[in-house]
Amino acid sequence: MTEGSHNINASVLFYRHTFTVFTPTFNRAHTLYRVYRSLQEQTYRDFEWLIIDDGSTDNTSDLIKIWQKEAEFPIRYLWQENQGINFAINVGVKEAQGDFFLLIGSDDSFMPEALERFIFYWKSIPEDKRDQFVGVTGLCRDQNGNLIGDELPLEVLDSNSMEIRYKYKIRGEMWGFLKTDIIKQFPFPVLPGTKFIPEGIIWNAIARKYKTRFINIPLRIYWINENNESDQLTKTSTPGIYAKGLALWHLSRLNNEISWFFNAPKEFFRSAVHFGRFSFHTNTSIWQQFKLLENNFARCLWLLMLPAAILVFKKDPK
C-alpha cells in the first residue's frame, strides 16, 4: 500500500488524488517539458504527477527538482537502474496515489481539458454499472492536428480493446486512464533476460474482464519526431533482443483471442508466424511451442505457418 492510502474495507481503496498521471522516462529531459506544460494547463486540478526515471544519465533529475519547487501540483520522482518500461510501469502502479492511473509518454502532451473530459465521461456511466468498467479512453492527434488512426463509429462507445480492434476495425493511437485498483491486479510479467513485453498483453487481459468507455474526442497529442528518431524506451533492429516478450505477445493472442479469428484472419496468421519466429530466437523447440498453445485451432494455425516462421527466423539479423 502506498503512503497516503488507507483501507475502508477489503475491496475498496481510497487515494489522495483522483488521478495519478504517470510518466516513465529515459533520457528525455529535452521533451519532458511537454508533459509538465500540459499538466500546468489542466482545467481539472486533482492529480499528482509520478515520474519513474528508468536510469537517465541526462539532466532529467535537475529539471524535475526545479519543477517540484515551482509547480502547483505534487510531483513525485523516482530513479531506478535501467530495467525497461514494463518494470517502470509496475513500479508506477504500486506507487500510485490516484484512484485513476493515466499513462503518458515522456515525449507527448495533451489537451488542457483532458482530465476534465475523462472525469465527465466516467461520471456519465451509471453508478450501478461502473464496477464493470476499467476507465475511459479517447483519441490522439499529432502535433499538426492530424488524427492518428480512425474515428469511432459512435461518439460514445462502451466496448473493450479487442472488440475495438477486431469487430470495429479501429486502428491508430488511443489514450485513456485505468482504475488503479484494477490495474494493480494485472502486473507485467517479469521475464529474465528481457526488458520489453508488449503492453497489449496486459490491456487485452483487462479487456477480457472489464469494459472501457471510448469517446470520439482527441485528447492526447502524439508527437511525431521530424527526424524519424524513436522516442520510445525500447527500440532495436535486432529482433532477438526482445524475442521473449514478442513471443509471449503472439502466444497470448493465439491462446486468448482466437475466437476473433474470422474477424481478422490475417492478424492471426501473422501471429502464428511470429510466435514461431520469436520462439526460435529464445531456443524454444517445436515441441515446446506446441505445448504452449492451449487450443487445437491455434495449434493447426501455427503448424500451417511453421515453414514461414522458420524462413523469417533464418533471415533475421542475429
Shared domain check, 179 and 67: yes
Do 132 and 165 lie in one domain? The reply is yes
Q: What CATH number does the domain containing 75 carry?
A: 3.90.550.10
The answer to whether position 15 is within a domain reads: yes
**Same domain for 171 and 118:** yes
| Same domain, residue pair 46 and 193 | yes
pLDDT at res. 237: 57
175 close to 220: Cβ distance less than 8 angstroms: yes
Burial class (CB in 10 A: 0-12, 13-18, 19+), 30: middle
- 51 sits in which H/E element: strand 47-53
Dihedral sign of CA atoms 113, 114, 116, 121 in order:
positive
pLDDT of residue 114: 98
Residue 234 in domain: no
**Same domain, yes or no, for 38 and 109?**
yes
- Give yes or no: residues 270 and 163 share one domain: no
Q: In sequence order, what are the beta bridge partners of 218? A: 139
Domain count for the chain: 2
Same domain, yes or no: 73 and 209: yes
Report the helix count and the strand count for the chain, using DSSP H and E: 11, 11
Residue 193 pLDDT: 82
Whether residue 271 is contained in a domain is answered as yes
Query: Are the beta carbons of 14 and 6 closer than 8 angstroms?
Result: yes
Would you state the cell numbers that stand for residue 297, as one nine-digit string? 485451432
Backbone angles phi, psi at 41, to 5 degrees: -90, 0
Q: Are residues 217 and 244 in the same domain?
A: no
Boundary residue ending a domain (156, 190, 221) = 221
Cβ-based neighbour number of residue 99 at 10 Å: 20
In terms of domains, do 21 and 71 share one? yes
Task: Examine the domain organization and report whether 158 and 269 are in the same domain.
Answer: no
Amino acid at 152: L
User: 194 in a domain, yes or no?
Assistant: yes
- Which of 155, 188, 221 is the C-terminal boundary of a domain? 221
Does some domain include residue 230? no
pTM: 0.90
Residues 6+ apart with CB under 8 A from 143: 221, 223, 224
Range of the domain at 243: 239-315
* Assigned domain for 268 exists: yes
Do the Cβ atoms of 288 and 276 come closer than 8 Å?
A: no
pLDDT digits (tens, 9 = 90+) for 95-110: 999 999 999 999 999 9
Q: Could you tell me the three cell numbers for 45? A: 486540478
DSSP bridge pairs for 110 = 220
Same-domain check for residues 153 and 105: yes
In the chain, % helix, strand, coil (3-state, to 5) comes to: 40, 20, 35
Domain boundary among 189, 221, 253: 221
Query: Cβ(175)–Cβ(110) under 8 Å?
Result: yes
Helix (H, G, I), strand (E, B) or coil at 135: strand
Q: Is the same domain home to 126 and 190?
A: yes
Q: Which residue has the cell 517445436?
A: 286
Residues of the chain short of pLDDT 50, as ranges, are 1-12, 226-236
d(CA 136, CA 156): 10
Quick one: pLDDT at residue 227? 40
- Residue 297 belongs to some domain of the structure: yes
- Give dist(CA 16, CA 4) in Å, integer: 6
Segment 245-295, tens digit of pLDDT: 999 999 999 999 999 999 999 999 999 999 999 999 999 999 999 999 999
Answer yes or no: is 227 within a domain. Answer: no
